Structure 1
Amino acid sequence: MTVTFKPSDITLPKTWHSLKPLWQGDETAVQEGLPHSQLAPAWQILLLGDGSPTRHLQLLTGERTEVDVIDMSPIGLDPDNAPAQLQVVPGPRLRRQVWLRTASGQRLAYATSWWEASHVDDYLQNRSIPIWASLARLRTELYRDVQGLYYGHSPELEKAFGQPGPFWGRHYLFWHHGQPFTLIYEVFSPYLERYLGPTSLSERE
């Protein structure tokens, strides 16, 4: 899996790209799942499952999943407009933003993650490769705890993906040895419909 580090062609503000939700769900929605008329089964596996999205994207597209790192910013103890679960990640913190894309350049997802700054190098020994690849190399045992779902708009992501919204996203905690060590917020491009089908079964009617 190869990686490039380059500036995005989207002007990056001193913040991150969150969705303006039309709908959002909490842990109950994650545990129970959504009606298929709202979110199709294949998309539920991607969004609600505890597997690696980087690995899933690679399997779906048949291409290496590569990462463009667009931000590595120390934020101290700032809440950073992040989901409330950020408070369980010890501070001071570091924010990392990336695009996940195919080797041929198609952007598939956007992710922001928040790490305890003093320990980020323990888990991201090479900060420019996918988190999944870093943790797999370390044989790190972890639990991906999906906490929330979002369906909404982001003009910045619409421009970056080259796809109209609304978009589906989620946030989750990574746990290791019973302790939370990072919070991750991900948004997926509708481009993935060519592999997963429409996001809802009602779109097929």
Structure 2
Amino acid sequence: MTIATESSESSLIITHWNALSPIWQGGSEVVQTGLPHQQLPPAWQMLLLGDGSPTRHLQLLTGEPTEVDVIDMSAIGMDNDSAPNSLAVVPGPRIRRQVWLRTASGQRLAYATSWWEARHVDEYLENKSLPIWASLAKLRTELYRDVQGIYYGESPALTQAFGETGPFWGRHYLFWHRGQPLTLIYEVFSPYLQRYLGTIG
């Protein structure tokens, strides 16, 4: 496993990931009850708080296949990597993977970071260029998506990368497989999706 991958947009080795600086955030209770519609429209809540596949949802929204640009596969050992506290249940040593989710025509729709147990990452992500949903569906892996937190915040890096001004909505969740934590995933969605899901705010 390569320790770090160079970004196609930079010759710098990626040593961090793009967490939002929250203006507002909520935990599992908010995830269960949902938000007032004036704060987050229902269609956005289905994307952020639902337990379905975001890559599948994005494909249905845009009418284009959802493709992945992998920008980082880094060995982080037992470091907490400034990740959500849920990372503690993912066995180590760990690999951090960062990707852009985009349409086949190149429009970036989301950013995602995931953390995997190093000794199992190749088993579940045999083809690193496929979305996680496609990789796991190919293996017929049964999963439970446990959404644990939601965020509304800023990120200069994502503002530049999406070509859209924030604030942005994001979330984190655990994938469980056979009663065991498989991976922790942190996702941030581009405001470009307002074209399909309605205006926020």
TM-score for the superposition, normalised by structure 2: 0.95
In 2: Cα distance, 1:149 partner to 1:127 partner: 26
Which sections of structure 1, spanning at least 5 residues, go unmatched? none
In 2: Cα distance, 1:133 partner to 1:86 partner: 23
Residue in 2 that maps onto 1:134: 135
State how many pairs are aligned: 196
Decide whether the 8 Å contact of 1:172 with 1:184 is kept in 2. Answer: yes
In 2: Cα distance, 1:150 partner to 1:45 partner: 15
Decide whether the 8 Å contact of 2:6 with 2:72 is kept in 1. Answer: no
Amino acid of the structure 2 residue aligned with 1:9: E
Q: Write out per-residue CA displacement over residues 18-77 of structure 1, whole angstroms, 9 at most, x where no aligned residue.
A: 000000000000000000011100000000000000000000000111100000000000
Residue in 2 that maps onto 1:40: 41
Residue in 2 that maps onto 1:91: 92
TM-score for the superposition, normalised by structure 1: 0.93
Alignment of 1:108-123 (within 5 A): 108-123=109-124
Residue in 2 that maps onto 1:171: 172
CA-based RMSD of the aligned residues comes to 1.4
Shift of 1:121: 1.3
In 1: Cα distance, 2:75 partner to 2:13 partner: 15
In 1: Cα distance, 2:193 partner to 2:160 partner: 16
Please say if 1:56 is aligned against 2:57: yes
In 2: Cα distance, 1:166 partner to 1:175 partner: 30
Alignment of 1:138-157 (within 5 A): 138-157=139-158
Percent identity reads 74
In 1: Cα distance, 2:7 partner to 2:95 partner: 18
Decide whether the 8 Å contact of 2:24 with 2:152 is kept in 1. Answer: yes
Decide whether the 8 Å contact of 2:14 with 2:72 is kept in 1. Answer: no
- Greater Cα shift, 99-108 or 9-18: 9-18
In 1: Cα distance, 2:40 partner to 2:190 partner: 14
Decide whether the 8 Å contact of 2:109 with 2:192 is kept in 1. Answer: yes
Q: What SS does the aligned partner of 1:51 have?
A: coil
Q: Write out per-residue CA displacement over residues 100-154 of structure 1, whole angstroms, 9 at most, x where no aligned residue.
A: 0001100000000000000111211111211000000000000000000000000
Q: What SS does the aligned partner of 1:118 have?
A: coil
Amino acid of the structure 2 residue aligned with 1:149: I
- Residues 39 and 8 from structure 1, CA distance in 2 versus in 1: closer, same or farther, beyond 3 angstroms? farther
Once superposed, which parts of structure 1, at least 4 consecutive aligned residues long, lie more than 2 Å away?
Answer: 5-13
Which sections of structure 2, spanning at least 5 residues, go unmatched? none
- Greater Cα shift, 175-184 or 121-130: 121-130
